[in-house]
Chains A and B, each alone.
Chain A
């Protein structure tokens, strides 16, 4: 005769099996969904989480100083100019380079590069690449805008000029457009564009 203890043990085993039957939803986040949470350390070892900035608009920029495209935007000041123009927006740069990859920069070298380019916003390390994969970051640079309620409202390129041929004023800066739309309550349009740059070195 089965004892209650056996029933409960069998139950526990069955539950583990049943966990396999949850509908899968592990794809990268899409615009319109809640931006995935993260908890990453910056170059000084301080931890930043997305929840820290709830209530503010957050721009996430995937960078890699050793990628010429990402570095060009740093040299030209595309992102820093934008960050200083939108002072109430939180700007976070994320470097998802695999520590074993030759592009990986130690904190002091990274700080040097940031200082050379006048970057004052936080630069976060994502060494496991988990945050990058959760956001579906493919290139450096790859830009995301998260609104004040934590919803992703823009995913894509910084602008429409991958080779950087045109002058800054002649390029359409999608992130600027997204931030302006946010402040005036309009829909972000385009909400997605194809990002360009080097591949993220996971």
Chain B
């Protein structure tokens, strides 16, 4: 310690002059330089020291210290959640027995973008991490606070440092009162004020969070999202409200965005949730801690406010705003209109999908009346198809509402997360491919060359076939997620039964549109070339070629399934589809006429088996793992 060194060096000369002695005494009696702050440990990028707010600390009770960093421009140290990389500083006060219950506190952080789309949360330039502790140093007079700090400081590259920091701290004797330091106490207080407060402790402010399992609306928001709502607080004048999430071992979070919707005066954030493990079904809750910064106190002072909260937040399905007043909304008329328009447009776009395009093209070619007088028959058949598509879409809507009420994910797109549904879709699409290859009679019936033109258009059979085609089209829309459907159908389903049915009816109208146009103007069909469906005809060639679109869709569905179930389950389904195709081919070549009902029965059998497997939970990934007996561990850790 400097004064003592001087003392010992000057000791022999101290006897020489009283003035010198007085000076020495004055030096010895002066308080040690910066008693409330330890020495800086300095490196090229940063420096760090330990500070206390006291010139004379209380002997017992709660105290605050500070871990004080200063960094070069561009270099930062980390928050408790360092973000995508890095790690927060750690402080170890074990070498100071007088301090216990030590906790490092975290002032509200900033967000830093790193190359490669990574993000870091921390502090640049200067930060004091307040350290809460209890002191028990009665009768000591002075203690040495010794701490070990490990930290990482990063700019574009990162450098770890480890130092031992010390502070000599005088302690108040009996009857003495503590003395705060004029420099460090305000510094510590300023940074302590930046530590977010638990939201429950701030009057008039509340915050809730939930997970939207079906994801948000609009581009770039597929997949689950976290929604955070803060009520009772205004954005700060000079800062923008931001939300930060605590670290987790099981998930990461993407870039949050502040929504424009301020209904009810609430601040609403959304951030993508990136689960590191794929769960079999949505968890009921998610452990989450969140911090909202950039707020202002509501007491009129306008002082900055940051709040934090944590808990097991509910995981909800259905899409749309989750929390607060906006969540309970019935769709307002203007919104409903937009939803209906988007759903109808989505329905039209669906006809471009690989499962529906062949049915549309070939269905129209089959309907083409050879003679103009058959136009009315064609129109009736087209109307039946339109009705079938419409009814199918409404049935899907009813199913979506039922699923939503049962707590299952019900947004458009979430049907692909149900392995059983994906498997059934693969079966259905395979049958359509077989139909286009002429091996199965449903849904399209290609006119045979020796029948009278227009014979297939008349009668009840034609109407039934048309309606069946429409119904199947609605079902075959399920593997696809074109842009407009999810953002329109999700809120509609959440808003209630009638809005949901209306939205799906609009979808059905979009699906039915081409058929309605043909029903209104059957003469348009005569613009199409007359397709020859006899063997070798171009119509048959087209049908067989388009069947490959269906097969491609089956491959897509199998890929989706492979990400959700075990390899054995996928293999079983592939074998089932192969068996179905084989059965259809055998039936086609059989000399004795085997009724199509037999093939239909086979398909029902396969579907039932899949459902049985799902029920026994055999479709889950890992269900095939061989159980082994636990053996004693052989090698150490």
Contact = CB atoms under 8 A, between A and B. Distances in A.
Nearest to B416: A23
A202 B114 CA distance: 9
A165 B158 contact: no
Interface size on B, as a range, is 35 or more
B301 interface: no
Contacts of B538: 4
Contacts of B9: none
A98 B116 CA distance: 10
B353 interface: yes
A141 B556 CA distance: 35
8 contacts: A139-B84, A165-B90, A165-B162, A172-B637, A193-B249, A197-B86, A199-B114, A200-B116
Contacts of A184: 628, 630-631, 633
Contact of A7 (B85, B162, B361): B361
B73 to A, nearest CB: 19
A131 interface: no
B630 A186 contact: yes
B249 A194 contact: yes
B222 A21 contact: no
Contact of B635 (A27, A85, A185): A85
Interface stretch (A30-38, A104-112, A113-121): A30-38
B635 A180 contact: yes
Interface of A: 1-4, 7-8, 11, 14-15, 17-18, 20-25, 27-28, 30-34, 66-69, 72, 85, 98, 103, 129, 136, 138-139, 149, 151, 155-156, 162-165, 172-173, 176-177, 180, 184-186, 190-194, 196-202
Interface in B90-143: 90, 92, 114-118, 120
B17 interface: no
A-side binding surface: helix, strand, loop or mixed?
loop
A3 B352 contact: no
Given A156-B276, A163-B87, 10 more contacts: A1-B527, A15-B549, A17-B352, A30-B278, A32-B277, A138-B84, A162-B87, A163-B151, A198-B154, A200-B116
Contacts of B626: 185
A32 B247 CA distance: 21
Nearest to B637: A176
A30 B277 contact: yes
Q: Which of B120, B151, B628 has the most CB of A within 10 A?
A: B628
Contacts of B115: 98, 199, 201-202
A72 B158 CA distance: 12
Contacts of B480: 21-23
A17 B152 CA distance: 49
A95 to B, nearest CB: 14
Instruction: Please name the 5 residue pairs, one residue from A and one from B, whose CB atoms are nearest each other, closest first.
Output: A202-B116, A163-B150, A199-B85, A162-B87, A185-B628
Given A194-B248, A202-B117, A177 B352 contact: no
Interface in B592-637: 621, 625-628, 630-631, 633, 635, 637
A128 B215 CA distance: 30
Contacts of B157: 66-67, 103, 198
B567 interface: yes
Q: Which of B115, B154, B352, B562 has the most CB of A within 10 A?
A: B352
A190 B249 contact: yes
Contacts of B289: none
Interface string B363-385: 00000000000000000000000
